Amino acid sequence: MILAGVLGCGGPGVEPGPKSEPTPQASEIDPAARAVAALIAKHGEAARARIETGVRQVAALWRPEDGDLEAFAVDQFLADEPSRKATLARLEHELEATFGHLHEIQRELRYPTDVDIGPLLPVDGLLAAFDPAAHLTEDLFANKIAFVALLNFPLRALADELAHGKDLSRDEWAASRLTELFARRVPAAVAVAVAKAGAAADQYIADYNLWMHHVLSEKGERLFPKGMRLISHWNLRDELRAQYAEKGGAAKQRLIAAVMERIVTQTIPKAVINNPRLDWEPSGNRVTPAPADTVEDNAPKLQAVAGADPEPDTRYEHWRQQFLAARLADPFSPSVPTTIARSFELERRIPEVQVKAMLVEILTAPAAKEVAALVAADLRAHQDRGLEPFDLWYVGFRPRAAFSESELSRRTKEKYKTAAAFAADIPRILSALGFARDRAEFVASHIVVDPSRGAGHALEARRKGDLPHLRTRVGADGMDYKGYNIAVHELGHNVEQVFSLYQVDHTLLAGVPNNAFTEAIAFLFQERDLELLGLKGQAAAARRMQTLDTYWMCFEIAGVALLDLAVWHWLYDHPEATAAELRAEVVATARDIWNQYYAPVFGVKDVPILAIYSHLVAYPLYVADYALGHLVAFQIGEHLGKAKSFGAEIERMTSQGAVTPDLWMQGATGTSVSARALIEATLAAAKRP
C-alpha cells in the first residue's frame, strides 16, 4: 500500500521483535497508520481513499510538538460533502481577511522605500525588511488550521492539474489553491530571512542611479542633459531605446552600453553610483571631480572623492544572499524541494522543461535572422551604421520611434503634473481603450496612484475592500515619457488585479495563472500608450509592425530568462560560492548564451549584456514570465483583433482566476500557450513589405 511506504509503516528504523514473539502491527507503532485505521473504522471503507490521502498529507508536515495526530484526524476529518463545502467557504473568507490585512500592513511598512515621499531615513530599511506575515504560516500549522485543509482537501500535483483540470469544478479548483497554501511548512525565522534578503536587494536596486550628465564619452563630451538621473537597468535601457529617434543617438547608445557592461562586470567605480559630483568616463574608467558649474542644483551633498575603486561585487552579493535565504526553505517543502521547482510548480504552474523549450524555440527560430535583417536595414538608412549588440533593445517597429523622447515628455509632463493627475485620467484612458463607461469608472475607483521611488511597479490587493496601487516616477516638473510608459504598463497590471479579485467567484482563485499572464495584460496596455496621448492618427502601429516588435522583445528577454535559470541551477550546485565566483559565473554564462543564440544574429561574440537586468538581483526567477507574457499577450492580441470588445474581453478573461495556464488560455482564446503562433506570424510579417 502506498500509504505504508510514504508514512513509514513497517519501514526502516522498525526493528523486528525476537523470533519467539510476534512482530508489532504497524498500527501499534505508527500514528498515521493508527489515524487511518481509526477513521476507516468510524466512516467506513467508502471513505478510505480520502482518508489515506488526507492523513498522508498531514503526516508529511506533522511534528512531534503538534501532539496526537490520530486524535486530531478523528476530530477534524469531514466525512460528508456539505461539511466540506461549508468549511471551504469559511476558510476562504477568513484567510482572505488574514492575508489581505497583513498585506496592507506590509505595504505601509514599505511605503517610504517604495514611494517618493522624501529622503530615506535610516530606519526605513528596517521597516521595509519587517514582514508581519513571517510567522503566519507557522501559526496556521501550530493551531492546526493548515492541517484541517490538508486533511480534508487534496494537495494536487501540477501534473494532476494539467491532466485533469478541465474536469474539476470551481469548488475543486478553490480547494486545490487552499491546500497549495500549505504545501510547505516554512519556519518563521526562514520567512524573515527571505523577506530581509529581498528587501535589501530591492532597496539596493531602487537606489542605484547614474547621473548621466556626468558620464562622459571617450573625448570627454557630455552627451546627456544636466539633471538626467537614470536607474539601472530600467531607465538606462529606456534611454537607449529613446535614442533611436534622436539625431546622433548612436553615440549615446554606445555610451549607455559601456555603462551596462561596467555594471555587469562590477568594474564600475563605486564612487560614481548616485553621485553627481564626479565625472566618469566608462571607456577608460577614469573618475574626476565634476566642475562646479556642471553640478546639479539639487545634487546630494556627497564627497567628490575621485577614486576609481570598483563596486566590491555588491550586486552579486545581493544575488547570492537571495539564493541563500530562499534555500533555507528547501527542507520544509517536501513536495517541491528547491526554489526553482517552487517557481514552476507552485508559482508559474508550467513545468520548467516546457518553459525552457519555448524559450529555445523563440531563440532558434529562423524568424530571428529575418527580423534582424529588417533592423539592420533600418539602422543603415537612419543611423548609417550596422547592427550592434545593444540593438537587442531596438524599438523601430514601434510608433513611438517616430517621435523624439523630448517631444513625448513635453506632452506627458504637460498632461500629468502629478501622480494624482494620472489617477484622475484613468477613466478616460480606459474608455479610450474600449471599456464601457461604468466599467471604466469602477476600475478607476479601485486603483491608487503613487509617485514611485524606484522605476515603478503595480502592487495588488489581496482582499475585497482593499485597492491595488500603481507606482511610477513623477519628477518635480511632471511625469516624463519614461514614467508615463511605465504607468500605462502598470495600469494594465492593476486592471487585471481589480477584475481577478473582485469579479472572480472564489477569492482562493484570485489572480491569474502566473505572472506571465498579468505581464501579458500589461503589455497590451503599454503598446497602446501613444494612442492614449492622442497620437493614433499620426503614427498608429500596423499589426505587422506590432508582430515584429513583439517577437524582437521576446527574442531579447528569452536569453535573459535562460541566464536566470542557469545561474540558479549553478548556485544549487555550488552553494558555497562567493560573490566573486558568482560574478565570474554570471558573466561567463551570459557570454555563453550570447554566443550560442545571439552571436549568429549580431555577428559579435562574448557580449555579457544579458546580465544587466535588475530582476536577476532583486526578483529571483521572475524574468521567464516576461517571455511567456509576450507569447500570451500576442495570442490574446490576436483574439482581440477579431472584432472583440477590448474592455469586455479583458474582464471576461481575467475573471477566470488562477487555474493552470493552458486551461486559462483555452478559456480566453480557445488555444493553449505556445510560441508557434508568434513565430509563424513573425515569419509572415518579415516577408511582407
Question: In whole angstroms, how far apart are CA 522 and each of 333, 446, 534, 591, 678?
Answer: 32, 17, 20, 30, 18
Report which of 632, 322, 651, 369 is spatially closest to residue 500, judged by C-alpha positions. Answer: 651
Quick: pLDDT tens for 419-445: 999 999 999 999 999 999 999 999 999
Beta bridge partners of 210: 230
Side-chain-side CA neighbours of 9 within 13 Å: the count stands at: 22
CA distance 251 to 282: 13
Size (the chain), residues:
689
CA distance 264 to 262: 6
Tell me which residue has cell 480520502. Answer: 50
The confidence score (pLDDT) of residue 260 equals: 98
Are 230 and 210 a contacting pair, CB within 8 Å?
yes
Tell me which residue has cell 514614467. Answer: 483
Are 27 and 37 a contacting pair, CB within 8 Å?
yes
Average pLDDT by consecutive 10-residue portion of the chain (689 residues)?
28 34 52 95 96 96 95 97 97 97 96 93 92 90 97 94 95 96 90 92 93 96 94 94 90 97 96 93 94 83 66 96 97 90 92 96 97 96 94 86 84 96 97 95 98 91 97 94 95 98 97 91 91 68 83 97 98 98 98 98 97 96 93 90 84 96 94 94 87
Question: In whole angstroms, how far apart are CA 601 and each of 208, 212, 363, 365, 680?
Answer: 32, 30, 10, 11, 19
Q: Is 471 helix (H, G, I), strand (E, B) or coil?
A: strand
Question: In whole angstroms, how far apart are CA 642 and each of 459, 584, 635, 665?
Answer: 31, 49, 11, 16
The confidence score (pLDDT) of residue 42 equals: 96
Angle at the Cα of 287 (from 582 to 241), degrees rounded to 5?
65
Quick: pLDDT tens for 63-85: 999 999 999 999 999 999 999 99
Q: Is 271 helix (H, G, I), strand (E, B) or coil?
A: helix
Whether the model clears a pTM of 0.85, i.e. scores above it, the answer is no
Q: Which three cell numbers stand for residue 308?
A: 576609481
The confidence score (pLDDT) of residue 5 equals: 30
Tell me which residue has cell 501550530. Answer: 142
Quick: pLDDT tens for 455-491: 889 999 999 999 999 999 999 999 999 999 999 999 9
- Convert 11-44 to b/e letters by CB count within 10 Å (16 or more is b): eeeeeeeeeeeeeeebbeebbbbbbbbbbeeebe
Residue ranges per structural domain of the chain: 1-77, 90-183, 204-316, 337-371+542-643+654-687, 403-539
The confidence score (pLDDT) of residue 301 equals: 65
Tell me which residue has cell 555563453. Answer: 592
Beta bridge partners of 289: 278
